[in-house]
Chains A and B, each alone.
Chain A
């Protein structure tokens, strides 16, 4: 029995989007940071795999926030280091 479902459909998984290059450039300049100062997410994270992001992509995560209603955060997709 194979049960496959899209993790993005789950209520507790927030919205993940791949950001375009221009968006990433404005993001980095608005915070005056470089790529490696962004928070990270592993390439094999189920949500990352599901939206098809590649290593080096930056994804935008829009989640419901207790304090602010909606909160945006950005993560750089990195390779999971071997254990």
Chain B
């Protein structure tokens, strides 16, 4: 191997005409590419000396074949100099800071010293355009300076006012500019921060144009045998044509007007050749009307060379398909369709120990038909690295031939480690290592409990799967990226994988208050745990059959020796906690792995909360945590199926009394609003501090209506108890809140735009249905109806206004936060925490003296705190502290 070399320095400069001619192998003079026989013209744009792209031909410069020849530059001698668009700002600056007659810097040596400090100090400062006053007199030759005007894209002119007070605009030709730049002395350039050895300013005005090798602008042959040239070639053809015409006219002594026109045309073509998206310049177009992709467009943007080709690469051994849920998989597994597993492979080296097994795989070949069959092989690689594609024709032959030293590409089988990913990959949990399980069907299957880290759902999401190809890669994937390593979030140290939706509803229904199960129910609930013995029954029912409590069922999946005390999501933070006697059964107490009291819900096992889950991981490790998630999700799914769980339109029904109460509340609120409006109109309203009268009134109305909405929610909530599925979901934290229920059964409430009542629309009113100046509740977006009772037309319209604002907000937020994140990642990607706890750049520069100022790894912390003192004490005392 070659030893690594250190880059000493990188020098940036401009290509001088001399260098361009020196590196050129051909002067290009013909605009045509190929002759009638399809052979390139000598000194044409496809000259064989510029490199070859057709297989079989040899390069005239290096005598290599198309695959080896890197290509060589040619050049075009321009009839007159033209400006390089990329340097127009530099040219403008130089024209403004130098004298129009002697080209010296417009500062006397003493002024230079004043700006840069004494010469012997050798400061790094440079003179900027701002240091020189406009239109002054040259301190060297006494010439009065003129204002230099720059017009995009490439026009420079001098402006002055003559004796009659008329403005005179004199255009500078590129040749004039070049002459001025040529005369700027080297010392003056150094003061401006330009190194004249590598970047003389006149080189920004092109007199000779390099012609890139054919290899970077290959022509493609279409299906009908026609040649199609690259955009760059098209542009070069234009340049040569105009250049040629320009020369002919010049030699024939054409009038100045025609010369100027041609000069401008040549400037246009060279400009668009370099950058086809310059402001103030119509883009050059293809015959079809599509703008040409020229040099600058090749580099810029998302699909450009940097972001598209260099930072973004495509890979082999990857696959992508739709995802769908399978709650029976472990969270560490992923279901892979057979079709994909047959296509993707892992290389296995043949050794004396596995040769028989591998021979079997080779005999099977690429055609594995069912899940239970042994995996086959797609390729065999001989020791000399020749690849043999296995097909039904050569299976037996290759199976005979293989011996230690060969490698075969084996198909995927159960238990292989793969990396699973969903875009956008916003955090490290977006790529995790799973073990595969072969499955029927055409989708990737995953346990719904791993949806939160991927932010996946099953409305058509697709995910990618990558197969690591070496032992090292597999080990690394498993140790660093497997699902169990990622249960705890590096953001706050809590679990981000845990029960979701039905898992929480199910476990809530199972553990809420006391229930008793018979042996068949017990066995059906705990079937997945592979128990050998049921625990002793806590009591017998009336017929003398043994009965187990629901808390006992849940305790079966808890590790022994777990002690915890906390309050569930359903806790309402009563003033005096009644602990075990809590009427909501929200006081969770676990002693020695036995659930003594309380209901298990989102707070205990939910993704992002998961108190029990976090404690298990801290006390028993990640593997036990993973098993607990698997157990709890399976148990809860079985529990929810015991009673069934559904929601229908009649679950939103209330009784006549409640509807009456709701009507009354809304009516009172309306009256209250009207009363306040009257006070306002009468001028009796006292403004709140710092508010105008109007604002005060608006706030009061919002408050009254908000309260009314909440009251209807309370009325509805009183009727709907835990027998209602929506209430179960809201109380347990599985999905939705009481507010959603209020809106379904009670009243939808005030619709808002930017936190205020809806005011826009017509003159002094939101809709023609209302009187002008109406400040009432209905006229500004208060919806009395519920989703159940149905919205009237004006209410529906207000609801659409409020809903649209939400949509726009999310659309704007995602794009903005995405760009913010991109910038953050670019700025922070190379920082690392050194062994001494400092955060440093690759150059060893210190960013933080202590990581996070407290040297704590958040993923090892307990919701941000370095040590979970309360948890540890409670674990020992088995009591709440």
Contacts and interface: CB of A to CB of B under 8 A. Distances in A.
A22 interface: no
B271 to A, nearest CB: 30
Residue with the greatest number of chain A CB neighbours at <10 A, chosen from B846, B849, B852, B853: B853
A67 B844 CA distance: 24
Given A31-B836, A31-B838, A82-B128, A39 B853 contact: no
A33 B852 CA distance: 20
B846 to A, nearest CB: 6
- Contact size class for B? 10 to 19
A37 B845 contact: yes
Given A67-B856, A82-B125, A82-B128, A31 B850 contact: no
A39 B843 CA distance: 12
A31 B846 contact: yes
Nearest to B836: A31
Interface stretch (A1-9, A49-57, A69-77): A69-77
Contacts of A65: 853-854
Contacts of A78: none
Residue with the greatest number of chain B CB neighbours at <10 A, chosen from A71, A74, A82: A82
A68 B854 contact: yes
Nearest to A72: B849
Contacts of A38: 845-846
Contacts of B847: 39
A37 B852 contact: no
Interface in A25-49: 31, 33, 36-39
A76 to B, nearest CB: 10
Contacts of B124: 81
Contacts of A68: 850, 852-854
Interface residues of A, number: 16
Interface in B112-150: 124-125, 128
A81 to B, nearest CB: 8
B576 to A, nearest CB: 33
A62 B630 CA distance: 47
A33 B850 contact: no
A82 B125 CA distance: 7
Contacts of A66: 853
Nearest to A66: B853
Interface in B831-881: 836, 838, 840, 843-850, 852-854, 856, 864
Residue with the greatest number of chain A CB neighbours at <10 A, chosen from B838, B847, B849: B849
Contacts of B849: 31, 71-74
Nearest to B844: A37
A73 B847 CA distance: 10
A67 B836 contact: no
A73 B848 CA distance: 8
Contacts of A37: 840, 843-846
A67 B852 contact: yes
Interface of A is mostly: loop
Residue with the greatest number of chain A CB neighbours at <10 A, chosen from B846, B848, B856: B846
Nearest to A63: B853
A73 B854 CA distance: 12
Given A31-B836, A31-B838, A82-B128, A67 B846 contact: no
A68 B864 CA distance: 11
A38 B850 CA distance: 13
Contacts of B850: 68, 71
Contacts of B864: 67
Contacts of B844: 33, 37
Contact of A67 (B840, B843, B845, B854): B854
Nearest to B856: A67
B192 to A, nearest CB: 13
A37 B864 CA distance: 30
Interface in B788-832: none
B854 to A, nearest CB: 4
A24 B439 CA distance: 65
A7 to B, nearest CB: 23
A36 to B, nearest CB: 8
Nearest to A71: B853
Contacts of A71: 849-850, 853-854
Interface in B530-552: none
Contacts of B836: 31
Nearest to A36: B845
A68 to B, nearest CB: 4
A66 to B, nearest CB: 8
A33 B840 CA distance: 11
Contacts of B854: 65, 67-68, 71
A47 to B, nearest CB: 18
A32 B472 CA distance: 34
Given A67-B856, A68-B854, A71-B853, A39 B846 contact: yes
Contacts of A73: 848-849
A65 B848 CA distance: 13
Contacts of B840: 37
Nearest to A39: B846
B827 to A, nearest CB: 15
B848 to A, nearest CB: 8
Contacts of B843: 37
Contacts of B848: 73
Contacts of B846: 31, 33, 37-39
A72 to B, nearest CB: 7
B243 to A, nearest CB: 42
Contacts of B852: 67-68
Contacts of A82: 125, 128
A66 B864 CA distance: 10
B732 to A, nearest CB: 32
Residue with the greatest number of chain B CB neighbours at <10 A, chosen from A31, A36, A81: A31
A37 B852 CA distance: 19
Interface string B778-793: 0000000000000000
A61 B121 CA distance: 31
Nearest to B858: A67
Contacts of B853: 65-68, 71
Contacts of A67: 852-854, 856, 864
Contacts of A33: 844, 846
Nearest to A69: B854
A67 B856 CA distance: 9
Nearest to B864: A67
A68 B124 CA distance: 40
Nearest to B116: A82
A17 to B, nearest CB: 15
A65 B845 CA distance: 22
B865 to A, nearest CB: 9
Nearest to A82: B125
Contacts of A72: 849
A73 B852 CA distance: 12
A73 B850 CA distance: 9
Contacts of A39: 845-847
Nearest to A83: B128
Contacts of B845: 36-39
A68 B851 CA distance: 11
A68 B837 CA distance: 14
A81 B128 CA distance: 13
B831 to A, nearest CB: 13
Nearest to A65: B853
A71 B852 CA distance: 10
8 contacts: A31-B849, A33-B846, A37-B844, A38-B846, A39-B846, A67-B853, A71-B853, A82-B128
Name the 8 nearest CB pairs between A and B, nearest first: A68-B854, A71-B853, A67-B854, A65-B853, A68-B853, A37-B845, A67-B853, A37-B844
Interface of A: 31, 33, 36-39, 65-68, 71-74, 81-82
Given A68-B850, A68-B853, 16 more contacts: A31-B836, A33-B844, A33-B846, A37-B840, A37-B844, A37-B846, A38-B846, A39-B845, A66-B853, A67-B852, A67-B864, A68-B852, A68-B854, A73-B848, A81-B125, A82-B128
Interface of B: 124-125, 128, 836, 838, 840, 843-850, 852-854, 856, 864
